[in-house]
Amino acid sequence: MCPQRFNPKHIAEYKRELGSYGYAGQYQQRPSPADGGIFKKSWFPWWKSPEVPPLYGVVQSWDTAYSEKPTSDYSACTTWGLWKDNHDVDNMVLLGIWRGRVEYHELLKRAKRLHFDYRDTDKEKNPALKGREVHICLIEATGFGDQLIRDLTVAGIAPTPYHPKKHGDKIRRAHLVSPLIEDGRVWLPAQPPHYTTLLPFAQELEHYAILFPRSDSRDVIDTLTQALIHLRNGFNIGLKEDQEDDDPLPPTKPMKAY
């Protein structure tokens, strides 16, 4: 990059806006930054508490297919808790993940179950049947997703259609949200009591994020990018570096447990 045209301040601004992957491709003629692909493990901070932060909303995001055939695509769902840090900056923490190959009638049942209890993934059920409800249910409004949106609406659930083509293909959408992830906005819960490893479902998402854009990771990561794209217009999306001069807000207490 020509130092006469771009001073260090401008370079830092471009890196924040584009993310390191986009910056490397656009300004350094490299398809990826020197240390890896679109998403890196170090970009996902760990939430080290048995309780989630004080949430103001829960978003569930679906990438759908329906077939049990071994060669068919997977359906995937991730659920995210929304919270603000002490600088009033929005963040997301992973609350649950499901991925499977199922016929449509099973997919519809699964979507209903996960709407009312986002941890009802066969591995765990909520005996209280409350406290894990979803506030926004995002479903890709293409193909199988259109039918799921209609059937959930009939069942009294109001899903929010998501139109991915407005934002390009899966890889393009990943680039759009990579600056937010690189800025540490997407948190993964760690395993108590020592917090030296992630909870199993968080390990699963981290695994797919590192693999992306390999084909066997795209369904899960598409749910992540879908959620971030939908929410970013309502987010306080100023990056953390831009908040350093602000007075921090007083800390708040966690509101609910995993």
Express each pLDDT in 192-204 by its tens digit.
999 999 999 999 9
Average pLDDT of span 213-221: 85
pLDDT above 90 coverage of the chain, percent? 55
Q: Which residue(s) pair with 258 in the sheet?
A: none
Which tops the pLDDT comparison, 121 or 196? 196
Structure tokens of 55? 């949430």
Q: Which one of 43-47, 61-65, 128-132 scores highest in mean pLDDT? A: 43-47
- Quick one: fold of 39-257? Nucleotidyltransferase; domain 5 (3.30.420)
pTM of the model: 0.78
**CATH 3.30.420.240 domain range(s) in the chain:** 39-257
